[in-house]
């Protein structure tokens, strides 16, 4: 897949998939960034099958204007760690379910980085939280984005209150 861009302006978040088969989960990351109006791009890069492409992408990412990389991979998921090795930008890893170990392999591969080169790891199939964490990072220097995040959190709290009210109502019937 060639990089797919959204929004106007150049991408500030690079979403990287280990394979196009990772798209169903990683599409959620793309959608959330779009909702918040954060320009992003999507690329398929494999740490094992295309290691040179991985090194080039991460080495040039900051110069191209990216500020955060979100990398999703399954199985022996070395992609986020390899990208982190080639850039000082924050890398958020999304372990993906699949294969004989059902995502535990990817979770351990991504979260257990050696001291010195961290990868911020979200839940297995946590594409949504990866986007939100990227937004939190970007919002440190962007008051407008910070405001959108605050409004999102307020909506979450209202949803919980509505669920509680519905439950109370049901129990009283
Ligand atoms: C990983 O291997 C990819 O991230 C994907 O989750 C998994 C399987 O890849 P495909 O065989 O579907 O290309 O590198």
In this prediction, residue 2 carries a pLDDT of 45
50 C-beta closer than 6 A to ligand 1: no
Rounded Cα–Cα distance for residues 9 and 96 (Å) = 30
**Which residue has its alpha carbon closest to ligand 1 atom 3?**
18
Average pLDDT over residues 66-73: 98
Closest CA to 27 of 72, 82, 90, 91: 72
Q: Which residue out of 1, 16, 19 has the highest number of ligand 1 atoms within 8 Å of its CB and is therefore the one to mutate?
A: 19
Q: Tell whether pTM > 0.85.
A: yes
125 C-beta closer than 6 A to ligand 1: no
pLDDT tens for 109-157 read 999 999 999 999 999 999 999 999 999 999 999 999 999 999 999 999 9
pLDDT tens for 42-59 read 999 999 999 999 999 999
In this prediction, residue 9 carries a pLDDT of 65
**Which residue has its alpha carbon closest to ligand 1 atom 5?**
74
Per the CB < 8 A criterion, the answer to whether 111 and 104 are in contact is no
Average pLDDT over residues 158-167: 98
State percent of the chain over pLDDT 70. 95
Which CATH code fits 13-140?
Answer: 3.40.50.1970
Rounded Cα–Cα distance for residues 91 and 69 (Å) = 5
Three-state secondary-structure class, residue 54: helix
Q: How far is CA 68 from CA 102, 158, 160, in A?
A: 27, 30, 30
Give CA angle at 105 (125, 113), nearest 5°: 90
Ligand 1 atom nearest to CA at 22: 6
Predicted confidence (pLDDT) at residue 74 exceeds the cutoff of 50:
yes
Rounded Cα–Cα distance for residues 55 and 91 (Å) = 14
Closest CA to 90 of 52, 143, 130, 127: 130
Cβ neighbours of residue 17 closer than 8 Å, sequence gap 6 or more? 1, 23, 26, 42, 43, 44, 45, 71, 72, 73
């Amino acid at each position: 897949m060639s990089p797919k861009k959204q929004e106007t302006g150049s991408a500030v978040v690079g979403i990287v998939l280990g394979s196009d088969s990772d798209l169903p989960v990683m599409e959620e990351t793309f959608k959330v960034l779009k909702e918040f109006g954060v320009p992003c791009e999507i690329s398929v890069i494999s740490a094992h099958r295309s290691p040179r492409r991985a090194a080039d992408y991460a080495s040039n990412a900051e110069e191209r204007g990216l500020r955060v990389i979100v990398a999703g991979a399954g199985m022996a998921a070395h992609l986020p760690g390899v990208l982190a090795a080639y850039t000082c930008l924050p890398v958020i890893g999304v372990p993906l379910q699949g294969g004989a170990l059902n995502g535990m392999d990817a979770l351990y591969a991504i979260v257990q980085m050696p001291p010195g080169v961290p990868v911020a790891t979200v839940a297995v199939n946590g594409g949504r939280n990866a986007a939100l964490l990227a937004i939190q990072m970007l919002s440190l220097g962007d008051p407008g984005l910070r405001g959108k995040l605050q409004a999102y959190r307020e909506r979450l709290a209202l949803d919980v209150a509505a669920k509680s009210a519905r439950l109370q109502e049901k129990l009283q019937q």
